[in-house]
Amino acid sequence: MSPYIELSRQQWSALASATPLPLSQADVEKLRGLGDPIDLAEVDAVYRPLTALLQDYVVTTRERARRTSGFLGIDEPPTPFVVAVAGSVAVGKSTTARLIAHLLSRFPATPRVDLVTTDGFLLPNATLEERGLLTRKGFPESYDRRALLGFVAAVKSGAPRVSAPVYSHTVYDIVPGEVITVERPDVLVLEGLNVLQPAPRLRHEAAALGSSYRPQALAISDYIDFSIYVDADPADIRRWYLDRFLTLKRTAFTDPRSYFRRYADVPDDIAVAAASRIWESVNLVNLQENIAPTRDRATLVLRKDANHHMREVLLRKA
C-alpha cells in the first residue's frame, strides 16, 4: 500500500487531452534550464496534465476559502496559492518551476503568477564563512530559515507586498540591496532544494543555529498548497551536474565576476574533477541527508529517466 497513485508516462500524458497548451517550441527553449533537453512534446506529455490538475486545485481551494468565509460571515479574499518545487541540485527544478509559472499565467483564473527561488534566503558568504558553513551551501543550516519562513507566512497571510532577497549564481553570493517583491499574486511558485524540509528539531538544532534563533515548530511546508518533487537517479543527476559545469565553464564562468572564473581557463578534465569533488562532498551529501528524505512529503513526484524524460508520476491519494 502506498499513499500515492502511480501513473506511467502513458497514463499521465493521456489525461486532460482537451486542455490547450498555450506554448510554442520557442517558448520552451526560452524557459528550459541549461542542459535540460525538454521540448514541446515533453511539455505536452507532462505539463499539460499537470497544469490542468493545478488549475483544478486552485479553483477548489478558492471555493473552500469562499465557503469558510461564508460560514464565518466575513469577506476574506483567498491568499496566493503556493506551489513548491523541490529536488536535488541540477535535477531541473528551475525548468519545472518556470514552465508551471508560465503555463498557469496563461489561464484566466490565474493571470498573476510569481516565481521565487529560495537561494535568496541563503546566508551571505561572509556569514557562512564565520559559521564554518561555506562547504555546506544548500544545506538547511546555510539558509536564513526564519526569514524564509517569515516570507512564506506573510504571503499566506495575504500581505499586499512581500519582498525576498536575491542570490547571484555568477557571483555565488547574495546581491546586496537587491530584492524581488511579490504583490499578492494568484499563484506563487516557490522553488528550492529545501522547501519540503520539516521544522528544525526544537532544542538542539535551534541551539546550533545560534542564540538569536527562536525555536519554533513551523516549516515552510505548513504554508504550501501543492508541492512537486522532481526525482531522478543520483547517478544521472551527477552526470547532468558535470555536463552543466562544463557548459558553464564555456559560458557563465568566463564572466570576470564569476566565482568559478578560475575554471574557465583550465583543461576540461581538471574542471570535471573539481565539479566531481563538489558533487561528491556537497550536493550528493545534501541530496542523501536532507533532500531525498523529503520526497514522500510531496503532493506529486515527477520521476525522470536518464534523458530527463518523465518516466512516472506519483500523486498523493485524496
Query: Which residues make up each annotated binding site?
Result: 87-94
CA-based torsion, 293, 296, 297, 300: positive or negative: positive
Give the footprint of ligand PAZ on residues 240-259 (CB under 6 A): none
Name which position in 182, 190, 193, 252 contacts ligand PAZ (CB under 6 A): 193
Q: Does 33 bind ligand PAZ (CB under 6 A)?
A: no
Angle at the Cα of 122 (from 294 to 100), degrees rounded to 5? 55
Minimal CA–CA distance to 220: which of 55, 58, 91, 86? 86
> Using CB under 6 A, which of 180, 246, 282, 292 touches ligand PAZ?
282
Tell which one of 170, 254, 276, 290 touches ligand ADP (CB under 6 A).
170
For the annotated binding site for ATP, the residues are 87-94
Judged by CB under 6 A, the stretch of 20-28, 112-120, 220-228, 305-313 that binds ligand PAZ is 112-120
Establish if 227 lies at the interface with ligand PAZ (CB under 6 A): no
Q: How many residues does the chain have?
A: 318
Q: Does 98 bind ligand ADP (CB under 6 A)?
A: no
Closer residue to ligand ADP in complex, CB, 93/156: 93
Tell me phi and psi for residue 148, to 5 degrees: -65, -45
**Cβ within 8 Å of residue 214, ≥6 positions away:** 146, 206
- Residue 286 interacts with, from ligand ADP, ligand PAZ, none (CB under 5-8 Å by kind): none
Strand-strand pairing, 300-304 and 310-316: antiparallel
- Does 45 sit near ligand PAZ (CB under 6 A)? no
What character string, x for contact with ligand PAZ (CB under 6 A) and - otherwise, covers 78-97? Answer: -----------x--------
| b/e map 174-208, b = 16+ CB within 10 Å | beeeeeeebebbbbbbbbbbbbbbebbeeeeebee
- DSSP per position, 177-233: EEEEEE-S-SEEEEE-TTTTPPPPPHHHHHHHT-TTPPP----GGGG-SEEEEEE--
Site for ligand ADP in 28-87 (CB under 6 A): 33-34, 87
Confirm or reject binding of residue 94 to ligand ADP (CB under 6 A).
Answer: yes
Q: Which residues bind ligand PAZ (CB under 6 A)?
A: 89, 117-119, 137-138, 192-193, 278, 282-283
Q: Which residues bind ligand ADP (CB under 6 A)?
A: 33-34, 87, 89-94, 169-170, 244, 248, 252, 260
